[in-house]
Structure 1
């Protein structure tokens, strides 16, 4: 369900609003599941990625940029704009560090870069990472948004906003 609502709705023909909402009945029909199974999937999602509002459902964040009927603007309008004062964190692998140092963080195939509010956060950070990047929110120069599940999102992170690089092992 998370894959459908984050990545494949367009190719599977699921009607979706620009901020990611789809009718629960349509999702159940596409996935051949009933409402009880859908509710269980939402409840058991380990990253609280799914959000239900009446008869509609969406992924809170993490949408693919291509092939999905969502827009950056509509997603951002559905999230809460925040002004963090502490460092934000992004987990990555060592192989990506050279490119990140030159270009900053880009969303790649996603609409936004995911950030975490703390080094040991369970949201906004991949579980298997080599290094954590400390991001200075003042140097970002762009708005930061918080999805309903607590993930912080930004369209990109310029290289000058990355002020720390730490081994991920040091924070466990």
Structure 2
């Protein structure tokens, strides 16, 4: 399997397991699980060739650990990032570290400065535990900038935090009073 096939399959799985399962007639349960055989059949109707081996390779080779296969090997889900209303993953509440980071593009800063970080179409705001990961996330959307989040102080004031299986931190909203822009020096460096 080549890298291009793995990347395309990963993007397809993200699309149907996070956002549009109905695009291929797939049903997700409230925890985001889909039957792998139904996924393969739905993909075939969409003109995509998937098999269990390809799916397992995508799941195991993903450095971001976006997907999880059930213990019995029959079901698959995205571990976070859902926008579909039928999924409501029950993450365990956890105390966050003192600081977390949010990678975004400079073009979104004005909106963030007005309303803080909001989940938008997703169920949660996604936060990273380290700056390089936040930079990589921000680069997906344009010229990256990293925002420092006072996560522990938020938690102490009643905000709930969760951690997905892949290590991504999740919360519902980050008000501006907990966001610091003083990490602009970490934005887009060509040596990263």
Task: Look up the match of 1:100.
Answer: 112
SS of the residue corresponding to residue 165 of structure 1 reads coil
Instruction: Considering fraction of residues, name the structure with more helix.
Output: 2
Task: Look up the match of 1:130.
Answer: 144
Higher relative contact order (CA 8 A, sep 6+): 1
CA contact (8 A) 2:135 2:145 kept: no
Normalising by structure 2, report the TM-score.
0.76
SS of the residue corresponding to residue 117 of structure 2 reads coil
What residue ranges of structure 1 are gaps of 5+ in the alignment? none
Task: Look up the match of 2:177.
Answer: 160
How far apart are residue 127 of structure 1 and its match?
3.7
Instruction: Specify which of 80, 85, 107 is matched with residue 61 of structure 1.
Output: 80
What residue ranges of structure 2 are gaps of 5+ in the alignment? 1-12, 45-49
How far apart are residue 90 of structure 1 and its match?
0.4
How far apart are residue 85 of structure 1 and its match?
2.8
Within 1, Cα distance between the matches of 2:56 and 2:77? 12
Seen in structure 2, the aligned counterparts of structure 1 residues 22 and 124 have a Cα distance that, compared at 3 Å, is farther
Seen in structure 2, the aligned counterparts of structure 1 residues 111 and 6 have a Cα distance that, compared at 3 Å, is same
Task: Look up the match of 2:5.
Answer: none
Aligned residues: 165
How far apart are residue 19 of structure 1 and its match?
1.5
CA contact (8 A) 1:124 1:152 kept: no
**Structure number with larger C-alpha Rg:** 2
Within 2, Cα distance between the matches of 1:124 and 1:161? 22
Normalising by structure 1, report the TM-score.
0.84
Task: Look up the match of 1:139.
Answer: 154
Task: Look up the match of 1:29.
Answer: 41
How far apart are residue 88 of structure 1 and its match?
0.7
